[in-house]
Amino acid sequence: MTGPLHGQTVLVIGRGGGIARAVVVAARDAGAHVIAAGRDRQALDKAYAGESDIDTETVDLTDEASIAALGERLGTIDHVVSTASARARGRLADLDRDAVRRSFDTKVIGPLMLAKHLAPRTPASGSFTLFSGVAAAKIAVGTLAVAITNGAADVLARSLALELAPIRVNAISPGVIDTGAWDAFGEAGKADYFADIAARNPARRIGTVDDIAGAVLYAMTSTFLTGTTLRVDGGEPLT
């Protein structure tokens, strides 16, 4: 398949649905051979069964040996995208230390180790795309740990962009995206929450996984873009 990623290999780390799946499919449709990796390979095998040009792999971002082993198995990778997260929500008094540690380990330290072990296998024309989030730009009570994790991811992207140059490193900062993550609110609660966000943000709607996948494709293919956080959030921090 021809496209802007034709002949290139893209590694996408995350689950088999939501934003990760949208990125995997968009990269494949742009001509790439895509490797979808995560802790639950069986779930990924099921999610991508029958899909062409998509392979699956196992990796645990909280385990450096697992990341190093993945690099040994894969060889050269043109683009690396890490969508994985482990959110630690709640007010300060209710925050669990282990949950905060998992949040940093998954979204900051894990991608740092990915860069350590995969950058030597990435060509100069390649890229890393990390994930931040709107909580870093719009501070609110109850999202302290999420905000500082996302802020660290922003700084990591800028720092890696300088150290790994000319390999490009960027971050994506999604706003409220309809991924299924809000289903725990219940049907009515989710509908009310989405209606409130859509009424207040300048885009006047909730984001979609395709909005985010498009931004990731741009980050991978725009060869003059590095050290930047792309805020795909409907203007939510302005409200």
Contact between residue 173 and residue 157 where contact means Cβ atoms under 8 Å apart: no
Which residues are bridge partners to 119 per DSSP?
Answer: none
Beta-strand relationship, 168-174 and 229-232: parallel
Backbone φ and ψ of 127, nearest 5°:
-155, 160
Contact between residue 229 and residue 137 where contact means Cβ atoms under 8 Å apart: no
Residue 39: which of 73, 68, 16, 11 has the closest Cα? 16
Q: Is 4 helix (H, G, I), strand (E, B) or coil?
A: coil
The dihedral of CA 229, 145, 107, 235: what is its sign? Answer: negative
CA distance 180 to 208: 11
Contact between residue 32 and residue 8 where contact means Cβ atoms under 8 Å apart: yes
Largest CA distance in the chain: 53
CA distance 116 to 214: 26
Q: Which residues are catalytic?
A: 132
